[in-house]
A and B are shown apart, each in its own frame.
Chain A
Amino acid sequence: MTLSDIAFWLFSAGAVWTAWRVFRTDSMVRASFALMLSFFCVAAILLLLSAPYLGIATIFMMAVEMMVMALFMVMFMMNPAGLNPMMMVHQHKVSIGAGVAAFAGLGAAALLTDLPHHAVAAGKPVIRDLGTELLGGSMLIFETAGITLLATMVATVVLSSRSGRFGAADEGSRPPGLEPGGKPAGRAPERDSDHSHHAEHGG
């Protein structure tokens, strides 16, 4: 049992415990920061695996992402510190099923894969190697994946926003005015091919 073994077990236990706390707390802000701590423990394990850039970048990215998530939740639910108790878990049966399936799948993948066992040689330029991999041989894969993910996000928003906040998108939903009783905000829907909104401006 070396020092890094002990550290590995400690961080693993930390990751699991904080992940469990995500579902036990009754405040959404606390839940997102518990999730952040869980990711930090994983980042520490990455550091133990001699992946300094990935480890610290994980801390960095997760801090920003969880912050944005918490901010959005406060924006939509201005509940200063979880004054009201809330039920944080929904759809118990489905979520239990999904959780068990995901655990089994990932566990099997981790146990059945033949992972490398040798330690990283001291003085190996791991960050340079990572950069060469990301922007060299695997560049096409990563860039394709990046663009695909972005396109997916945009497409999801487009598809899910047909029934928008102000009526169906294809029936010309118009948001209310920027001032009470003002002219509707946003673009007027175009009825025909020529520039009808110009005509509206003129009129």
Chain B
Amino acid sequence: MTALIAVLLLLAAGIWFGATADAVAEAAVAGHPVRAALTSPFRRAALMLSRQAIATEHPDRLNRLLAPACYLVLAAAGLSVIPFAPGMAVTDIATGLVLWGACEALVVVVVFLNGWSANAPLPLIGGYRYVAIGLPAMLISMFVLIGAALPAQSLGVGAVVESQRVLINAVRQPLGLPLFLLLGLSITLRGPFDYGDSADLAGGTHAEASGAHRLLWRAAKLAMLTAFSAMAATVFLGGYLGTVLPGPAWLVLKTALVMLVLVAITHLVARVPPARMLTWLWTVLLPLSFVDLVWAGLEAMR
């Protein structure tokens, strides 16, 4: 029960923190006053709530509602396997990493459905372009996560944390965290990996969304950012492990750190056209994840 409350609190705080960090980074890069950006997420949310949520011509109503809602649920489900302290997770199962993998895979489905259900050309193009990039990005993260599970000899997230008491995985497997961060950008549709909601498609999968519908989709993206960052902090940065401060505090701090890194990348790094990224994914990044896996295996056998 405590863990469930902790998950919901972390999600809510993460959405707020992510939105604020985004607004501040945007203002700083754009040269706008940073002070005003601190409170701007509330104003923007209020504005979206007070506007009409337009329905397109002949949409797939069910999936149009389900897509953002499921995205939010997936973020919560992904966060549920993360231990806040030894043994303190909502779903403390031995297959936590596989469950997280299932969440990643379903994000691709949800983003596609969001683009498809609007029944308009630009969201549809965004939807299937995202599938083309999102699936290989997810494959890479699978190999990286298997690598992280090797020293723990378990697919349970708790065991992965405990295996980092001596050395955190970010140091033990140096390729792991950078490759995993790429997945984070991909499943949260951000910056250099924003192939679903991109500007060349006037917003891609949510190009036709307005009002509360738009707010829900954005909140879901930020919730997924939180869930992903907590996962990265847990699997590669030792999660709740740390001295002086209590375990949950360490987890929150590390999560916030990963979020800030992702937000910075979002606003500072350019995106390449999808065909080029697809080539890189299959010919450079996927082989790199094999290298990471071999490295992790050799290191675990030592």
Chains A and B share a contact (CB less than 8 Å): yes
User: Using a CB–CB distance below 8 Å, which chain A residues touch chain B?
Assistant: 27, 29-30, 33, 36, 52-53, 56-57, 59-60, 63-64, 66-68, 70-71, 74-75, 78, 80-83, 127
Across the interface, which residues of A come within 8 angstroms of B109, CB to CB? 33, 36, 63, 66-67
A59-B102, A67-B109, A80-B119 known; A74 and B59 CB under 8 Å? no
- Are B105 and A63 in touch, CB under 8 angstroms? yes
- Are A70 and B112 in touch, CB under 8 angstroms? yes
Bound complex: CA of A78 vs CA of B120, how far in Å? Answer: 11
Number of interface residues of B (CB under 8 A): 30
Across the interface, which residues of A come within 8 angstroms of B288, CB to CB? none
- Are B94 and A52 in touch, CB under 8 angstroms? yes
Indicate if B135 sits at the interface (CB-CB under 8 A): yes
- Are A52 and B121 in touch, CB under 8 angstroms? no
- Are B116 and A74 in touch, CB under 8 angstroms? yes
Indicate if B58 sits at the interface (CB-CB under 8 A): yes
Contact of A75 among B94, B105, B108, B128 (CB under 8 A): B128
Residue pairs across A and B with Cβ atoms less than 8 A apart, 27 shown, are: A29-B116, A30-B63, A36-B109, A52-B95, A53-B98, A53-B155, A56-B99, A56-B102, A59-B105, A60-B98, A63-B105, A64-B108, A64-B138, A67-B108, A67-B109, A67-B112, A68-B131, A70-B112, A74-B128, A75-B128, A80-B119, A80-B121, A81-B58, A81-B59, A81-B60, A83-B58, A127-B94
A29-B116, A63-B106 known; A127 and B155 CB under 8 Å? yes
Indicate if B4 sits at the interface (CB-CB under 8 A): no
- Are A33 and B113 in touch, CB under 8 angstroms? yes
Please, which residue of chain A has its CB at the minimum distance from the CB of B101? Answer: A60
- Are A64 and B135 in touch, CB under 8 angstroms? yes
Across the interface, which residues of B come within 8 angstroms of A59, CB to CB? 102, 105-106
Render B185-207 as a binary contact track against A, CB cut-off 8 A, 1 for contact.
00000000000000000000000
Indicate if B234 sits at the interface (CB-CB under 8 A): no
Indicate if B157 sits at the interface (CB-CB under 8 A): no
A56-B99, A127-B94 known; A68 and B135 CB under 8 Å? yes
Please, which residue of chain A has its CB at the minimum distance from the CB of B142? Answer: A60
Render B57-75 as a binary contact track against A, CB cut-off 8 A, 1 for contact.
0111001000000000000
- Are B60 and A82 in touch, CB under 8 angstroms? yes
Across the interface, which residues of A come within 8 angstroms of B101, CB to CB? 60
Bound complex: CA of A67 vs CA of B102, how far in Å? Answer: 13
- Are B112 and A71 in touch, CB under 8 angstroms? yes
Contact of A67 among B60, B121, B135 (CB under 8 A): B135
Indicate if B117 sits at the interface (CB-CB under 8 A): yes
Which of B95, B102, B106, B128 is most buried by chain A, counting CB atoms within 10 A of its CB? B102
**For chain B residues 121-146, which have a beta carbon within 8 Å of chain A?**
121, 124, 128, 131-132, 135, 138
Bound complex: CA of A121 vs CA of B109, how far in Å? Answer: 36
Bound complex: CA of A176 vs CA of B97, how far in Å? Answer: 46
Across the interface, which residues of B come within 8 angstroms of A60, CB to CB? 98, 101-102, 105
- Are B124 and A71 in touch, CB under 8 angstroms? no
Across the interface, which residues of B come within 8 angstroms of A68, CB to CB? 131, 135
Render B68-88 as a binary contact track against A, CB cut-off 8 A, 1 for contact.
000000000000000000000
Across the interface, which residues of B come within 8 angstroms of A63, CB to CB? 102, 105-106, 108-109
- Are A64 and B105 in touch, CB under 8 angstroms? yes
Query: How many Å from the CB of B282 to the closest CB on chain A?
Result: 15
Bound complex: CA of A38 vs CA of B21, how far in Å? Answer: 40
Q: A53-B95, A60-B101 are in contact. List 11 more A-B contacts (CB 8 A).
A: A33-B109, A53-B98, A63-B102, A67-B108, A75-B128, A80-B121, A81-B59, A81-B118, A81-B119, A82-B60, A83-B119
Indicate if B93 sits at the interface (CB-CB under 8 A): yes
Across the interface, which residues of B come within 8 angstroms of A78, CB to CB? 124
Query: How many Å from the CB of B78 to the closest CB on chain A?
Result: 13
**For chain B residues 225-259, which have a beta carbon within 8 Å of chain A?**
none
Across the interface, which residues of B come within 8 angstroms of A36, CB to CB? 109
Across the interface, which residues of B come within 8 angstroms of A66, CB to CB? 109
- Are A80 and B98 in touch, CB under 8 angstroms? no
Contact of A81 among B93, B102, B116 (CB under 8 A): B116
Query: How many Å from the CB of B120 to the closest CB on chain A?
Result: 7
Across the interface, which residues of A come within 8 angstroms of B131, CB to CB? 67-68, 71
